[in-house]
């Protein structure tokens, strides 16, 4: 079970309201999503009657334990909704994601969905993306130091993510560079430039893709941000 945080609990409870029996959904990665999955199991003790595409091996394992029916993304299937967490959220529903190292599959799940609902704690709301969390950039392992040099033409810092001193390898077999975002400048342009860098697979900027953001507060209330409002 994930540890109990009142803000996360509030957001996850609100996210559960976006799931209906019979749906085909996408589930991202991180504590807020995992809590939403646990709440779904509590609501439907026989096993949630939804089919789900999972964005990380860890989420897939939890989904299996909780009785979710697993599906693959086959290029034709459209998910009713994708539910995922975030590391930062701005006022335009822009996100930084990838703290849990699953940003690549998470983006693929989000792009397969009709709607994208973000479940997060209100403390993740920022004025400008990058102010409190580095931007993860997923790069191929081969020649990664050269890719890092090219990324450093675009951002002031880019550090290889390690775990216990060993370079992290993502579910898709890549490394991550945790990058400091510049305090000024157009983030859409920066995102496009990072994406176009040789050796980069994907980055954790999710701009213009979230439809709704549910921000749980410590008092149990939820701020709901919607695209276009």
The catalytic residue positions are 106
Binding ligand 5RP by CB under 6 A: which of 37, 40, 103, 137? 103
Contacts 24+ apart (CB under 8 A), 156-159: 156/180, 156/182, 159/134
User: The tokens 């991202």 sit on which residue?
Assistant: 28
Q: Tell me the residue ranges of DSSP E strands in 156-207.
A: 157-160, 162-163, 166-167, 175-180, 200-203, 205-206
Query: Among 44-52, 63-71, 98-106, 161-169, which window interacts with ligand 5RP (CB under 6 A)?
Result: 98-106
Closest CA to 31 of 127, 94, 81, 100: 100
Contacting range for ligand 5RP; rule: CB under 6 A; set: 12-20, 63-71, 96-104, 108-116: 96-104
Neighbour count for residue 203 (Cβ, 10 Å): 27
Q: Out of 26, 63, 100, 199, which residue is the one contacting ligand 5RP (CB under 6 A)?
A: 100
Closest contact distance (angstroms) between CB of 76 and ligand 5RP is 26
Instruction: Out of 29, 36, 147, 170, point to the residue binding ligand 5RP (CB under 6 A).
Output: 29
Q: Is the CB of 50 or the CB of 119 nearer to ligand 5RP?
A: 119
Say whether residue 85 binds ligand 5RP (CB under 6 A): yes
Spatial contact of 97 and 68, defined as CB atoms under 8 Å apart: no
| Beta carbons within 8 Å of 98's beta carbon, 6+ residues apart | 87, 106, 135, 136, 138, 176, 203, 204
* 138 sits near ligand 5RP (criterion: CB under 6 A): no
Stretch binding ligand 5RP (CB under 6 A), from 23-31, 43-51, 157-165, 189-197: 23-31
In the region spanning residues 30 to 69, those forming contacts with ligand 5RP, defined by CB under 6 A, are 30-32
Segment holding 6, helix H or strand E: helix 6-16
Residues that bind ligand 5RP (CB under 6 A): 28-32, 84-87, 97-103, 106
């Amino acid at each position: 079970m994930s540890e109990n945080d009142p803000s996360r609990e509030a957001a996850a409870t609100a996210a559960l309201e976006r799931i209906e029996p019979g749906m085909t959904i996408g589930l991202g990665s991180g504590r807020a999503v995992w809590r939403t999955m646990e709440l779904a199991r509590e609501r439907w003790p026989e096993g949630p009657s939804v089919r789900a595409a999972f964005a990380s091996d860890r989420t897939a394992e939890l989904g299996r334990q909780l009785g979710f029916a697993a599906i693959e993304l086959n290029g034709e299937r459209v998910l009713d909704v994708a539910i995922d967490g975030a590391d930062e959220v701005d006022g335009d529903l822009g996100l930084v994601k990838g703290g849990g190292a699953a940003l690549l599959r998470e983006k693929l799940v989000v792009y397969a969905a009709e709607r994208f609902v973000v479940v997060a704690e209100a403390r993740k709301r920022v004025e400008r993306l990058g102010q409190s969390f580095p931007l993860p950039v997923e790069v191929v392992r081969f020649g990664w130091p050269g890719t890092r040099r090219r990324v450093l033409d675009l951002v002031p810092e880019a550090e290889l993510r390690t775990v216990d001193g060993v370079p992290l390898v993502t579910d898709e077999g890549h490394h991550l560079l945790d990058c400091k975002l510049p305090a000024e400048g157009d983030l859409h342009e920066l995102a496009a430039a990072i994406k176009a860098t040789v050796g980069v697979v994907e980055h954790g900027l999710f701009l213009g893709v979230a439809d709704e953001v549910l921000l749980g507060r410590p008092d149990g209330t939820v701020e709901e941000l919607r695209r276009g409002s």
